[in-house]
Amino acid sequence: MLKKVDVSQLKPGMYIHDLSCDWMTHPFVRNRFLLSSDEEIRKIIEAGIHDVVIDGSKGLDLGHAPTLDEVRQGTEEALVAIAAAPVIVTRTSLAEELKRAAVIRHQATGLVRTVMQDARLGKAIELDNVAPVVRNITESILRNPGALMGMLRIKTKDDYTFLHSVSVCTLLVAFCRSRGMDADTIHQAGLGGLLHDTGKALVPDHILNKPGPLTDEEFAIVKRHPRDGYDILVKSPDVSAIALDITLHHHERRDGSGYPDRQGEGAISELAQMAAIVDVYDAITAERCYHKGMPAAEALRKIFEWSTFHFHPTYAQEFMRCVGIYPVGTMVMLESGRLAVVIEPHETNLLAPKVNVFFNTRRNGYIKPETVDLSRPVGFGGGDKIVRPESPEKWQVDPMRFISVA
C-alpha cells in the first residue's frame, strides 16, 4: 500500500515510491528504490525533501501513516475550493490567436537559441533584440492567454531548452497579469523568464542533453547555471534588476533548500518565487528522454502539495487559477466516454471549461468535433464532466488538431 511519510520516519528497508519533489531537486539516479542506509536518508533530508511516498508491499511499512489515496482526497477538496474563483476573460477567439501564437513561438524560440549561442561565445546579450519578443508574447497573452500557453505545452526533445525559456516567459507574463501587476513589471518579469536559463549555455551538451539521470558531479555542474546566467547578463547594462534576480534565484525555495544561495522565504523576492513555480511547472510537464512529463492537472496538484515547504502557498494557488486546473490544450476523458481537448476556462469554475470533443472511446472511433460547455446542464449544450486528464501518447493523437472546430 502506498503511504505518505514524513522523512523523519524513514528507515532503511523502506521502499521509496515517490520522492515528492521535482526531478531537479533530488540527487538520486532513480525515483524509486529500496532505502539501504542512513546515508541515503540523510541525502533525502539535505535535498530539502520533507515527505515521501513509500510502498509497504515492497519494503517496511508504517502502520499509522496516511495512505496516498487519503492524501489525494484532501488535495482534491482543496482544489475544488481553489477552482471556484474568477479568471481573466479573453479578448480574441482561440482559433484566431493560434495563428499569431505560432509565429511568436517560432520567433521567440529562434531568439533564445541565438542568445544561448552568443552567451557560449562570450558575447554580450543584445536586449534590443529581446524586448520586442517579450512585447509580442505579452500582447498575445492579453488577447488570449490560452493560445500561446497551450501551443507551448508541446515541446520537441531537441528544442526543449529553448522552448522551456519561451514557456517560462509566457507563463510568468500571464501569472503577473493575473495578479494585477503594472505593465513595466510584467515586461521586466517576461525578460527575466526568457533569459532565466542563459547560464545553461555554459553547461556541456553531453550533460544538458544526457539521456539518463545525472551523476552527483554532473548535477553540481547544472546547479551552477543560475549564477553563470547572472554573471553573463550583468555585463549587459540594460538588463534590469528584476530580470537578474529571476535568473539568479528561480531555484531558491522557501525552506532554504534551494540554490545557489539557499535563501529562505523572507529573502526571496516575490517575482523570483513566482518564477520558481512557473519553472518547475513547465519542467515537470515536459517530455524528456529521461523524464516522462506529467499531465498539467497532475503537475498543478504537485505544485499545490509542494507549496507546503517549497513555494509560497498563496502564489501557488493564484498560479493554478491563472493557468486553470485543466489548461488550454489539455486532453481529458469525459464521463460520457468521449475524449476532448480543453479550449477555454470557465469564468468562475475551473473544473468546468469549454472543450472540443472528438473521439468516442466506447465506440472506439472518431466523431464529428463539437464544442461542449461543461458548465451548462443537460439540454443546454452541457451535461458532461471531466473524469481525468488523458495522455495524448496513450491514444496516439495530437490534441492541437482539435483545438478549434470548423
Residues 269 and 395 in one domain: no
What's the confidence (pLDDT) of residue 406? 55
Residues 286 and 140 in one domain: yes
Q: How many Å from the N-terminal Cα to the C-terminal Cα in the chain?
A: 48
How far apart, in whole angstroms, are the C-alpha atoms of residue 100 and residue 334?
A: 30
Residue 198: pLDDT band with limits 50, 70, 90:
very high
**Which position has the grid cell 517549497?**
310
Q: In whole angstroms, how far apart are CA 53 and each of 14, 60, 89, 394, 405?
A: 10, 12, 39, 25, 42
How far apart, in whole angstroms, are the C-alpha atoms of residue 346 and residue 353?
A: 5
Per the model's pLDDT, the better-predicted residue between 56 and 24 turns out to be 56
Residues 276 and 378 in one domain: no
Average pLDDT over residues 93-115: 93
Residues 373 and 268 in one domain: no
Closest CA to 285 of 348, 331, 239: 331
Helix 296-306 and helix 270-285, axial crossing angle in degrees, nearest 10:
140
260 domain-assigned: yes
79 domain-assigned: no
On the question of pLDDT at 382 being above 70, the answer is: no
What's the confidence (pLDDT) of residue 1? 85
Say if residue 260 is preceded by a cis peptide, omega within 30 of 0.
yes
Residues 55 and 162 in one domain: no
- What are the grid coordinates assigned to 397, written together? 493523437
On the question of pLDDT at 289 being above 70, the answer is: no
Mean confidence (pLDDT) of the chain: 88
On the question of pLDDT at 128 being above 70, the answer is: yes
On the question of pLDDT at 160 being above 90, the answer is: no
On the question of pLDDT at 211 being above 90, the answer is: no
What's the confidence (pLDDT) of residue 66? 86
How far apart, in whole angstroms, are the C-alpha atoms of residue 105 and residue 373?
A: 28
What's the confidence (pLDDT) of residue 90? 64
What's the confidence (pLDDT) of residue 251? 96
Residues 274 and 359 in one domain: no
Residues 350 and 243 in one domain: no
How far apart, in whole angstroms, are the C-alpha atoms of residue 145 and residue 176?
A: 12
DSSP per-residue string spanning 169-237 = HHHHHHHHHHTT--HHHHHHHHHHHHHTTGGGGGS-HHHHT-SSPPPHHHHHHHTTHHHHHHHHHTTST
Average pLDDT over residues 124-135: 92
DSSP per-residue string spanning 222-241 = HTTHHHHHHHHHTTSTTS-H
| Host domain of residue 344 | 331-402
Closest CA to 340 of 319, 356, 318: 356
On the question of pLDDT at 381 being above 80, the answer is: no
pLDDT above 70 covers a percentage of the chain that reads: 93
Average pLDDT over residues 305-325: 91
What's the confidence (pLDDT) of residue 49? 86
396 domain-assigned: yes
Residues 181 and 307 in one domain: yes
Could you tell me the CATH number of the domain that includes residue 304? 1.10.3210.10
Residues 304 and 337 in one domain: no
On the question of pLDDT at 48 being above 90, the answer is: no
Helix, strand, or coil (residue 378): coil
**pTM of the predicted model as reported, rounded to 2 decimal places:** 0.86
On the question of pLDDT at 121 being above 60, the answer is: yes
Average pLDDT over residues 279-292: 83
Number of domains in the chain: 3
Residue 405: pLDDT band with limits 50, 70, 90:
low
On the question of pLDDT at 389 being above 60, the answer is: yes
Residue 186: pLDDT band with limits 50, 70, 90:
very high
Per-residue pLDDT of 162-184, as tens digits, reads: 999 999 999 999 999 999 999 99
